[in-house]
Amino acid sequence: MLKVVKIKEMPKKSKHTLWNCGESGDNFDSRDRPFTRFYFAIVDNRSAYRELTRSRLFNILSEQNSGVIQIGRDVEFSVKGSEWGLLFVVYDAMRNLQDLKFADRRINAKQDFNFKEKKVIEIEDYLRTRYE
């Protein structure tokens, strides 16, 4: 079972990944099962490390030959008042949540249940409000 940590316990200027997921209505596999949409906000003080974490997350999602699809474009911006940056990516994949085990893979990931597609406020605005 995934450990849920309150977002207020996590310093904004620290190496971490916010994530959440939900059903994707856009894509279906050959058995008409919907993909899961994964949202990741990767925070690190080096762009190369953010890209490395992004690659590792992509590899985790594609382990079960699920076919990972990137949704939209990457969004990158700076964390207010620091050298830290944030990389936001969204993927659709058929992946069992219990098998993700981010901590076992040395990824400091925290699930944020408010971090999802929003109707009133765009997800990019949500992240900018938290970090800029």
Q: What is the mean pLDDT of residues 114-122?
A: 66
pLDDT at 6 over 50: no
pLDDT at 42 > cutoff 90: yes
More confident residue, 125 or 84: 84
Whose tokens are 């916010």? That residue is 18
Residue 100 has pLDDT above 50, yes or no: yes
- Whether pTM exceeds 0.75: yes
The string of DSSP codes covering 8-60 is GGS-SSSSEEEEEEEEEEEEE-TTSPEEEEEEEEEEESSHHHHHHHHHHHHHH
pLDDT tens for 58-93 read 999 988 766 788 988 888 888 888 888 999 999 988
pLDDT at 1: 40
Q: Is the pLDDT score of 128 beyond 90?
A: no
